[in-house]
Structure 1
């Protein structure tokens, strides 16, 4: 049995329901409309209506995305910024959300905590190779290389002198 096509009105109602439950950005909404086979003109009309009725707001979405990825996923600014770029959030909106939603002290505490947790899981996080592994881990999580290097100097690692 073939799938029944979604009408523009059904798509609008579905999206309003979705947006009432969770934050969505314009690009996600447009992608859904494309998958449902809605024409380009109807897509734009639906998106504009959702924006007018405040179901979709890229600034609000960016703030929620930044908070969620920092608090729950423990991502750094660089990885969060890339995620927002992949959602086609304008750079100025993303930069403002990153600046406003992440406290600098909390950011540094999160980085140190992340590195300590990773170090505890390693057999002997004391050698140069282990420190490089921790450095790469921090950078892959989206933290700035300079901050990762500084944090590694303050993270408790029992240094061995046998290397």
Structure 2
């Protein structure tokens, strides 16, 4: 099947719509641009336009990504960081944006997931249940030290 060719303005509009639909990071927009056979100058012009008009804002993307992955998906900081790294978000930007997660909410979430998961582990010794629950929480991206803090309370 032959690729439909678009004019510069059509491509620009498609990329605006792509950014308006949901916050995007630079890497996602660059990936999307590869679908269109654009010369480098055209890519750069569109990219700068998206930045200038605030359709593309890496900090806004990072903040909304962190909020969504924590408050909706209940991921821990480590898992969120790993996924942001894959999206080529800088360590510095990540660190400034993690204030989107309130420490209190973070600890309550670990505690809630701990309770839920642990209560479903039947027919095993306490230490087995504990170690399985720790592994589970770590796989969700929560830090070992924080998980241990929750165990100290329970």
Q: TM-score, normalised by structure 2?
A: 0.92
More helix by share: 2
Q: Which has the higher contact order (CA 8 A, sep 6+)?
A: 2
Q: Distance in 1 between matches of 2:124 and 2:64?
A: 35
Q: 1:120 to 1:37 in 2, by over 3 A?
A: farther
Residue 51 of structure 1: aligned partner: 51
Residue 63 of structure 2: aligned partner: 63
Give the 5 Å matches for 1:89-128: 89-98=89-98, 100-124=99-123, 126-128=125-127
Residue 75 of structure 1: aligned partner: 75
Q: Distance in 2 between matches of 1:152 and 1:48?
A: 49
Q: Distance in 2 between matches of 1:105 and 1:115?
A: 15
Q: Check conservation: 1:33, 1:43, Cα contact below 8 A.
A: yes
Q: TM-score, normalised by structure 1?
A: 0.87
The residue matched to 2:112 in structure 1 has which SS? helix
Q: Distance in 2 between matches of 1:145 and 1:83?
A: 19
Residue 137 of structure 1: aligned partner: 136
Task: For structure 2, list consecutive stretches of 5 or more residues without a partner in the other structure.
Answer: none
Q: What RMSD over aligned residues (CA atoms) do the two structures have, in Å? A: 1.6
**Deviations 1:120-143 (Å, cap 9, x if unpaired)?**
222146522221111111111111
Q: 1:134 to 1:46 in 2, by over 3 A?
A: same
